[in-house]
Amino acid sequence: MLKGREGFGVVIIFFFIGILICDVHGFRDGGGSVLENRGIITGRKQKQQFPKQQPQKAETMCNVYEGSWVYDSSYPMYDTATSCPFVRKEFDCLKYGRPNRDYLRYRWQPSGCTLPRFNAEDFLKRMQGKRIMYIGDSLSLNNWQSLVCLLYAGVPNSNITRESNTSMSTFTFQDYRVSVIIFHSLYLVDIEQESIGRVMKLDSIKDGALWKTMDVLIFNTWLWWSVKGPSQQWDYTQEGEKVYKDMDRMEAFHKGMKTWAKWVDAEVDPTSTRVFFQGISPSHYNGTEWNEPGATNCARETEPISRSTTPMSGSSPSMNVVKEVLSSIKKPVSLLDITAMSQLRKDAHPSSYNAFQGMDCTHWCIAGLPDAWNQILYRELAA
C-alpha cells in the first residue's frame, strides 16, 4: 500500500503544514504553548537491569501483527476531553469537530491470540524507576502522545511533572519514577550547520550519548527522508570526506539506517536497555489502494479497510530497508511492525479535523490507532 508513495509527490501540500509545526518548531503542549523549561535531562543514572528473556509460551509467540480490526463498544480506553488534557492541536480530532466517533471503537484483534487491554498501573509498576524514550519525527510524537494519555488516564491521581525544550518533552509519573520522553530527531543521524549550509552527516550520531542512558528506546525515521524543495531540512549530505549536493533518497536512508545500526551494536547495553524500532506508518491519499479510485485523501473515510477485500502486505522499499538493516544488528532489537495493521485504518487520520484545517492523512487521531501500537509495546515489555 505504500508503493508509489515513497516520494510523497503532490500529497506533501496536504500534510506539511502539520508536520512542519510538529517537526521543525519543537515540542509544545496540547494548547500550543511551550511547556515550562526545567532543563534537559543530563548525566547517567544507575539503571536497573532487565530480566533475561524467558522462553515464550505459545500465546506470547503468536504474530500480533496478523489480525483484523473489530468493533468494540468498550473503546476508546480514554476520553481526551476529560482524561488527557495534553493532546496536541494536530491530533485532537474531537476537539476540532470530527462528527463521527466510530473510529475510536475499533480494537486490534490478532488472529492467533488476545492482545491484553492496556493497564496503566501494571505498566508503571513494571517500568518503575525506568526512562522510556521515543526518538524520531512527528509520528514518534504521535505515538508518545498516545502512551502519555494511556498512562495519565489510567492513574489520574498520580503526581506528574512535565518539562520541555525544543529537542525533548518529558512526562514523569513521580509515584512510580517513570519518565516518558520524546526526543526530536527527523533522521536519527546528525545535521550540522557549516559554512556551505546544513549538512546531513550520514555517518554521525552525536545524540546517542544521551539515548544510551535510557532504559527503553523506541526509534522511528522515514517521513522526512524523501522530502524535497523548501521543506527539506538539509542542503548537503556527507559521508566520510565526500560531500554531495543530493543523493538518491532511498540510498541515503539506507546509509543513515546502517549508521544507526552500528551505533546500537557499539553503544547499547542490552542487559539494561531494550531497543525497539517503530515500523513505517502509512498514509492514505490514494483511493485506488482501498478500491475507491476517486478518493484523493481520507476525508470521508469512517471505517477500516476490510482485509478480505483489500490484501495488505506492509511491504515498501523503505520498509524493506528497515527489515534488512534490523536483520544485520547483532544486539537484540524488536521491530514494532505496525505497517500492515495501520494500512487498514484509512478512517483514523485527523483529515481536516485539526487546528490547521489542512488535510492530514499521515498522522493519527489521539485517542486512536497509536493506542494499539502501545498495547503491543506493553505486551512486548511484559513478555
Question: Distance between CA 65 and CA 79 in Å, rounded?
Answer: 26
Strands of the sheet with 236-239, listed across from one edge: 190-194, 197-201, 236-239, 242-244
Task: Evaluate whether 86 touches 148 at the Cβ level (below 8 Å).
Answer: yes
In angstroms, what CA-CA distances link 251 with 78, 218, 255, 320? 41, 23, 6, 12
Q: Which amino acid is at 207?
A: D
Closest CA to 218 of 275, 281, 167, 267: 275
- Give the Cα separation of 94 and 107 in Å (integer): 19
- Which entry of 138, 169, 179, 318 is annotated as an active-site residue? 138
- Are the C-beta atoms of 88 and 122 separated by less than 8 Å? no
DSSP code for 363: S
First to last CA, the chain: 31
Q: Is 111 designated active site? A: no
Residue 176 contacts residue 128 (beta carbons within 8 Å): yes
The catalytic residue among 137, 190, 337, 360 is 360
363 tagged catalytic? yes
Distance separating alpha carbons of residues 354 and 228, to the nearest angstrom: 25
Distance CA 247, CA 260 (A): 18
- Asked if 184 is an active-site residue, the reply is no
Cα angle at 261 between 370 and 132, to 5 degrees?
40
Using a 10 angstrom Cβ sphere, with 0-12 exposed, 13-18 middle and 19 or more buried, the burial of residue 160 is middle
Q: Where are the beta strands (DSSP E) in the chain?
A: 67-71, 106-110, 131-136, 160-164, 168-173, 178-184, 190-194, 197-201, 216-219, 236-239, 242-244, 274-278, 334-336
Give the integer Cα–Cα distance in Å for 120 and 378. 9
User: What ranges in the chain are assigned the alpha helix state H?
Assistant: 12-24, 58-61, 80-83, 120-126, 138-154, 208-211, 249-267, 317-328, 339-343, 370-382
Tracing cell 522515514 back to the chain, one arrives at: 222
Enumerate the active-site residues: 138, 360, 363
